[in-house]
Amino acid sequence: MTDIAIFGASGYGGQELLRYLATHPQIRVAAAVSGRWAGRTVAEALPHLEGFHEGLRFTAPDQPLPSSCAGVFLAVPHGTARDMVPRVEGLKIVDLSMDFRDESDGFVYGLTESNRNRIREADRVANPGCFATGALLALAPLASIGALAGDVVLSQTTGSSGSGAHAKAGTHHPERAQDMRAYKVLSHQHRAEIEDDVGRMGAGPCAVSMVPQSGPFARGIFTAAHVRLDPRLDSETDSDTDPEFDPFAIFAKHYADEPFVRMRPDTPTLRRVARTNYAEVSLHVADGRAVILSTIDNLGKGMAGQAIQNMNLLLGLDETMGLKTPGANA
């Protein structure tokens, strides 16, 4: 077993790390740091984890980490992760905040499917944002072959757990239960992150137009990415098409060996990926345009699940370890 620590263990990111790691065969949570819950056992604060993480108590942020720790998850607010890095120097770091998504300070951007070889060689991963993960899984197959450029329209709908563990007006149940609305229209912080990363993948210059929407579900991000199809790919798809120029073949190949990404012929769904690290993707082509749809759990593949996938790589473990628990149909 390898020991790790979690900073920010009482937020939803931290809670989900604890949930996935409860059954991880080779990672042990040696420290769960939370000012709010310091002193409590995991079972006291999170009754659904009673029987797991036996003996573990939350510790205050000013307590020293156990010397056994080889890695650390930073699930702390944007802006504070940067200050914590010196303190965990020498440990493998997966940072869930925005602070290093520009790949500064030796961090590698952690969209695992695109960057796993670089992550394996790295010590530090900047875990992608949840909206960015949903968008990039949709755009990567085209971006990585240089067939993405121009206007990219993103319509993305997130569940209420994306707002974090604390009650706020936007998650007040009577007003959220059957509502849908938008926020930060054309101005969400993930937009730049997405433009940067598709650039790294090989896309031409893209102008991302992003509308984040809030849906009345607890878990998930549904992404619809609308792009103009690269003319080289825009013959009508038929059985004679050269697979190199058949968009469906391009997607199938891109995700053929991915353990957590499933191509769907009709539509991705949120319910099947909820509470898992899996993603679903579908491609639709007509009249020179393509729509790519994707679904993830914002706290799973969009956050804690992908963070563990990346930590597995940093620690030299099988990337899927602790994450291959299937979702449900209902």
Closer of 23 and 68 to a second copy (Cβ): 23
CA distance 232 to 274: 36
For the bound state, the minimum distance from the C-beta of residue 171 to a second copy, rounded and expressed in Å, comes to 4
Burial class (CB in 10 A: 0-12, 13-18, 19+), 13: buried
Closer of 47 and 90 to a second copy (Cβ): 47
For the bound state, the minimum distance from the C-beta of residue 153 to a second copy, rounded and expressed in Å, comes to 5
CA 18 to each of CA 22, 51, 266: distance values in angstroms, whole numbers, following the listed order: 6, 12, 34
CA 101 to each of CA 108, 163, 193: distance values in angstroms, whole numbers, following the listed order: 8, 20, 7
Closer of 59 and 295 to a second copy (Cβ): 295
Closer of 199 and 327 to a second copy (Cβ): 327
CA 184 to each of CA 10, 191, 206, 292: distance values in angstroms, whole numbers, following the listed order: 26, 11, 20, 22
CA distance 249 to 113: 18
CA distance 82 to 203: 29
CA distance 141 to 164: 31
- Going by C-alpha positions, the residue among 50, 44, 77, 46 that lies closest to residue 61 is 77
CA distance 171 to 165: 10
Known catalytic membership, residue 69: no
For the bound state, the minimum distance from the C-beta of residue 260 to a second copy, rounded and expressed in Å, comes to 9
For the bound state, the minimum distance from the C-beta of residue 241 to a second copy, rounded and expressed in Å, comes to 19
For the bound state, the minimum distance from the C-beta of residue 246 to a second copy, rounded and expressed in Å, comes to 17
Kindly compute the dihedral angle of the four CA atoms of residues 277, 275, 101, 189, in this order, to the nearest 10 degrees: 140
Closer of 53 and 92 to a second copy (Cβ): 53
Q: Which of 130, 152, 154, 296 is catalytic?
A: 130
Q: Would you please indicate which residues are annotated as catalytic (active-site) residues?
A: 130
